Structure 1
Amino acid sequence: MTTTCEIPATSVDRLVSSQFVRLLVMVFGSGLSMYLLTSVVPLYLAAHGSGGVGAGASTAAMMFSAVAVELVVPRMLARWGYQVVLGLGLVLLGAPSLVLLASASLPLVLAVCVVRGAGLAILVVGAVALVAEITPAVRRGEALGVYGVAVGVPAVIGLPLGVYLTQVIGFGALFVLAAATSLAGLVALVGLPGRIAVEDQHVHVLGGVRRSGLLMPTLVFAAVTLGAGISVTFLPLAVAGDKQSMVAAALLLQAIAAPLARWLAGRYADRLGPARLLAPAVVLAAAGAGSLVSCRVRPRS
């Protein structure tokens, strides 16, 4: 009679580890830094005379910078490792917020947005890649769902709180707070992996998109992200000043829905396959964006 010694699945496929917790803490701090200023920088520009053009330019500068830098992050990870690259991302996202204390000049603010966009790109790509490295493959979808919650909770807090705090502590103190929340994440890097071998096909991002069937999901993600960026940028400017509480409530509801949807998508993607979730997600995103067209708001003077 022979017995087979089996390792319990919980010990092999355990989702939450100390490294994963550290990563989530870092993601939370950097996300809070980003979302505190997402709707505030357009308000800051509008308050100093740059209007809707400056507001749109600030968001566009950050997003275009993020997209451009994302293409080179895999090479950075392969060369310098996760700790160095993620640390750089935290500094680039947080420290430039302090520069906004000096001036509301549109060129200066746009330069800050470009640098912060580079930091955002590093953190997004690096953190997602690290999630895949430090969590079990059989639970990777769920792990990414948990990561999505850690990214989304700062939006729940930061989007409405940033708009509210401009009336309470002012722009300057808020810029300092945004810098501090990102830079504090440097402490969480201790204990995370250093350099991990990155396969060649993951380094060549553009080639990977063309050859691996990622082009259409990438275009879908870009379209949905564009719609979300427009809403959080211009909603505070489109609503009259005496209704900013309504703006904060709308941003709060959007921010709450996002992490819940990410978590559910992660769980069901492991069971049903992610492709089946794309169509209903696109329909929901289009319906939400279309509903804003019917909203009657009075432009800010």
Structure 2
Amino acid sequence: MSRALALVFTASFGAMWSFYLLLSVVPRYATSHGAGGIGAGGMTGALMGATVAAELAVPRLVGRFGYRSVLAVGLVLLGLPALALRAATSLPAIAGICVIRGMGLAVLFVAGSALVPAIAPPARRAAALGVYGLVVGVPAVIALPLGLWLAERVGYAIVFVLAGGAALGGLAALPGVPTRTRAHAGAEAGRGVVAALRSPALAWPSAVFSLSAMAAGAVVTFLPLAVARGSGGLAASALFAQAASTAGARWWAGHHGDRHGSAGLLLPAVLLAAVGLSALTLVGRPIAVVLGMLVLGAGFGVAQNASLALMFEHAPPRDYDAVSAVWNIAYDTGLALGGAGFGVLAARTGYPAAFGVAGALVAAALVPAWRDRAWLRPVPDAPHCPRGYR
């Protein structure tokens, strides 16, 4: 592993610790200030909606200012507003902070995901993405349940300080991060986000992956609210199981992709996520909840790596920023729709039925992707394809 890659991983680790520490805490914090289920989901929707909007601009900002400066701004936007959450006691103020943090997330998601394949050797790209998935997944394993546990025992203020400090601490790694990569040194400019979305080889994998992100967005926002009162330990354990399964599956998918290709993993992975989400119809049974979250996490992790690796395999290095933006927009749109949309559904049907309906919708949405599956074919003659495709 190169020093530059290690520093990118370090900065990303701090950012993701901040993100996951508050992902389930902020909706619960909002309910303590009068938000109902729809309002709680709206906080996740505000966070991820702002992230999606900002991600459209990140490739252009990177092209103008370079990775290092843009990453610094992203860490500040993610960290400082977290410190201000304790003073936010109205729902508009909480949502406003979520919007600002979402802008910071956009930078970290897009720039980080683009830097890893740009720095890594082409033959080890999927494996490097797998390690990156492990680096950003470990905070989910620890910070996602830890945030809820700390909020219940020591209060929200401590959680907010820890989240802010984690993001701002990532600034220490940036001096060694490259400002430009070899892809940016060429005279030919890469495609923009809109142009990249016109390519089925990029649009379809991102759309399919977004379905698994919807499932994840629903559970991280509403599982703590769906389990019986007094079962905070169950919610934390289930979120831990899901995050650990996601990180491990993403790492495995990276190594599998370098050897055998990533195309065959994507559709089964999303179907697996749908099965795990549907299992939460038995939300009153602890074993079913934990097992369902394990299955969902495995599908989500494989879908993360397979979709991203597949998209990079179909794009030249100069397009990596746009590819990263498209993938992250799919990720964050899915999280936002899963959080906000599931809240509306659950308000009408109750949590158990909503989990079942949502799982069925995710599975059904795979049908058009399966019918038009030419985008899954590898590009064996492309010089940037990994070893498993030659």
TM-score of the aligned structures, taking structure 1 as reference length: 0.90
How far off is 1:134 after superposition?
Answer: 1.3
Picking from 94, 109, 113, the partner of 1:124 is 109
Q: Report sequence identity in percent.
A: 48
2:44 counterpart of 1:20:
no
- Residue correspondence of structure 1 range 259-298 to structure 2 within 5 A: 259-296=247-284
Picking from 167, 170, 180, the partner of 1:195 is 180
2:23 counterpart of 1:35:
no
Measure the CA separation in 1 of the matches of 2:78 and 2:190.
24
2:62 counterpart of 1:77:
yes
- Counterpart in 1 of 2:82? 97
Gaps of 5+ in 1: 1-15
Measure the CA separation in 2 of the matches of 1:283 and 1:211.
24
Q: Is residue 33–residue 91 contact of structure 2 (8 Å, CA) maintained in 1?
A: no
Q: Using CA pairs under 8 Å that are at least 6 residues apart, name the structure with larger relative contact order, 1 or 2.
A: 1
- Counterpart in 2 of 1:258? 246
How far off is 1:203 after superposition?
Answer: 4.4
- Counterpart in 2 of 1:171? 156
- Counterpart in 2 of 1:216? 204
TM-score of the aligned structures, taking structure 2 as reference length: 0.70
Q: Is residue 40–residue 162 contact of structure 1 (8 Å, CA) maintained in 2?
A: yes
Q: Identify if the C-alpha distance between structure 1 residues 125 and 202 changes in structure 2 by more than 3 Å, giving closer, same or farther.
A: farther
Summarize deviations over 1:87-135 as a string: whole Å, max 9, x none. Answer: 1111111111122121221111111111111111110110011111211
Measure the CA separation in 2 of the matches of 1:201 and 1:241.
55
Q: Is residue 18–residue 163 contact of structure 2 (8 Å, CA) maintained in 1?
A: yes
- Counterpart in 1 of 2:43? 58
2:91 counterpart of 1:109:
no
Measure the CA separation in 2 of the matches of 1:135 and 1:29.
21
Measure the CA separation in 2 of the matches of 1:108 and 1:290.
34
2:126 counterpart of 1:141:
yes
Q: Is residue 74–residue 203 contact of structure 1 (8 Å, CA) maintained in 2?
A: no
Summarize deviations over 1:40-65 as a string: whole Å, max 9, x none. Answer: 00110111211212211000111111
Q: How many residue pairs were aligned?
A: 284
How far off is 1:249 after superposition?
Answer: 0.3
Q: Which runs of 4+ in 1 moved over 6 A?
A: none
CA RMSD of aligned residues (A): 1.6
Measure the CA separation in 1 of the matches of 2:179 and 2:275.
43
Q: Is residue 145–residue 266 contact of structure 1 (8 Å, CA) maintained in 2?
A: yes
Q: Is residue 74–residue 202 contact of structure 1 (8 Å, CA) maintained in 2?
A: no
Q: What secondary structure is seen at the aligned counterpart in 2 of 1:145? A: helix
Q: Identify if the C-alpha distance between structure 1 residues 223 and 242 changes in structure 2 by more than 3 Å, giving closer, same or farther.
A: same
Gaps of 5+ in 2: 286-349, 352-390
The one-letter code of the counterpart of 1:295 is V
Q: Identify if the C-alpha distance between structure 1 residues 203 and 99 changes in structure 2 by more than 3 Å, giving closer, same or farther.
A: farther
2:202 counterpart of 1:239:
no
Q: Is residue 44–residue 104 contact of structure 1 (8 Å, CA) maintained in 2?
A: no
Q: What secondary structure is seen at the aligned counterpart in 2 of 1:242? A: coil
